[in-house]
Amino acid sequence: AQSVTQPDIHITVSEGASLELRCNYSYGATPYLFWYVQSPGQGLQLLLKYFSGDTLVQGIKGFEAEFKRSQSSFNLRKPSVHWSDAAEYFCAVGGGTASKLTFGTGTRLQVTL
Amino acid sequence: NAGVTQTPKFRVLKTGQSMTLLCAQDMNHEYMYWYRQDPGMGLRLIHYSVGEGTTAKGEVPDGYNVSRLKKQNFLLGLESAAPSQTSVYFCASRNGPLYEQYFGPGTRLTVT
């Protein structure tokens, strides 16, 4: 069965500092991997996705993520965090004909000024 | 395009009442999904559909039914609501395995 672990429930960083959110997955085949962001009271917005090819993927809002098959990880990074990045971030893995996604439990990011 | 819309946005039910949540998408997507989001548990898949007239169970289907009579609509029904079904419900759609899921704004349901 597929699963996703986001080990950090809550992270606080200062504005301008770098950010790395961890994501580990379990999947029996080549995974499709996603990072979504959710602002309070809102739906989920896709930040970036990995299907194949280059293991470093670029997304919106200056985010990037690196797929490491040997570590079963897909960590999200940003070099310099802005106060508007405060939100909850979800990693998800999926694939197969039904394209079902399994989500992690999320990491809440707080940004201090 | 409106994308994915959900009706209603908020609802309060008493235990035992029934209701239907409507999800509509105008992107001609084949695949549609219903999730529930609870604090500390991420999103969990309730039911999904891979095309008009088809539905399948997800991770937490008990207490819910769905129908996909039209390609653009995916209905989620609660026949007899329970307090454990208090949650935020999200609908999503996608065009196929190599595409992202697009999410609606959510429905906040409280069962008292």
pLDDT of residue A97: 63
Q: pLDDT (tens digit, 9 = 90+) per residue, A30-79?
A: 789 999 999 988 889 999 999 888 899 999 999 999 999 999 999 999 99
A34-52 in b/e form (b: 16+ CB < 10 A) is bbbbbeeeebbbbbbbbee
Calculate mean pLDDT across residues B84-107. Answer: 91
**Chain B residues within 8 A of A98 when measuring between CB atoms:** 31, 48, 50, 56
Q: pLDDT (tens digit, 9 = 90+) per residue, B15-45?
A: 999 999 999 999 999 999 999 999 888 899 9
DSSP A82: -
Q: pLDDT (tens digit, 9 = 90+) per residue, B3-16?
A: 999 999 999 999 99
Residue (of A91, A10, A84, A79) closest to A48 by Cα position: A91
Question: Are residues B50 and B69 in contact, defined by beta-carbon separation less than 8 angstroms?
Answer: no
pLDDT at B99 over 90: no
B40 in contact with A at a CB cutoff of 8 Å? yes
- Residue of B56, B90, B98 lying closest to A98 (CB–CB): B56
